[in-house]
Chains A and B, each alone.
Chain A
Amino acid sequence: KAGVTQTPRYLIKTRGQQVTLSCSPISGHRSVSWYQQTPGQGLQFLFEYFSETQRNKGNFPGRFSGRQFSNSRSEMNVSTLELGDSALYLCASSDPGADLMDTQYFGPGTRLTVL
């Protein structure tokens, strides 16, 4: 099976702009989660979507939003970008019920730089 894919891999934006990141999960996986990874804070959970519904949400401001489509593909949007939003954004898919650990299968990430 093909792994999780994320596009674009690298992105440079300026403050105040908005950005949309895309994620295609492993075929058959209906859960998609998004994480922000920075050297200072590590891996932080943004939100999880399952069957087009947001199931869990982390502690991030409303500028961060997402959605999931009927084919399980997901997008994440960040509006009014701030310098502190520079990070690696990771998407992970999982097959809830396949194992009790909710094993996450990560994509390679999108490196966002905000200038």
Chain B
Amino acid sequence: QKEVEQDPGPLSVPEGAIVSLNCTYSNSAFQYFMWYRQYSRKGPELLMYTYSSGNKEDGRFTAQVDKSSKYISLFIRDSQPSDSATYLCAMCSKLTFGKGITLSVRP
């Protein structure tokens, strides 16, 4: 079993939809949970991070962590075409990335 599993994609949604992206993990030592966003022909960039269980909001984005279930999610409200990208979850102590899911938001 991989340490980090991410829902496979790709995912296509209409503009304005609520998007839910999910990852599960097996390593209880993970303490920090991150989401990176990667636009086409670019490298990934850190979008959000959280340390504890619960929710963290940043504009239209909400990162959610459930340590008891070893499950993290990224919610995007009112999705826009500019949100079309690949989203990778990442975790550390020892930095580990999920495979990534490609999101396409249709105008």
Question: Which residues of A line the B interface, CB within 8 A?
Answer: 4, 35, 41-43, 45, 90, 92, 100-109
Q: Is the interface of A mostly helix, strand, loop or mixed?
A: loop
A109 to B42 CA separation, bound complex (whole angstroms):
7
- Please give the number of chain B residues whose Cβ is less than 8 angstroms from any Cβ of chain A in the complex: 19
With A100-B32, A101-B49 known as contacts, the answer to whether A92 contacts B97 (CB < 8 A) is: no
Question: Which residues of B line the A interface, CB within 8 A?
Answer: 6, 31-32, 34, 36, 41-46, 49, 88, 92, 95, 97-100
Give 27 A-B contacts (CB < 8 Å), ordered by A residue: A42-B97, A42-B98, A42-B99, A42-B100, A43-B88, A43-B99, A45-B97, A90-B43, A90-B44, A101-B32, A101-B34, A101-B49, A101-B92, A101-B95, A102-B92, A102-B95, A103-B46, A103-B49, A104-B46, A104-B95, A106-B42, A106-B43, A106-B45, A108-B41, A108-B42, A109-B42, A109-B43
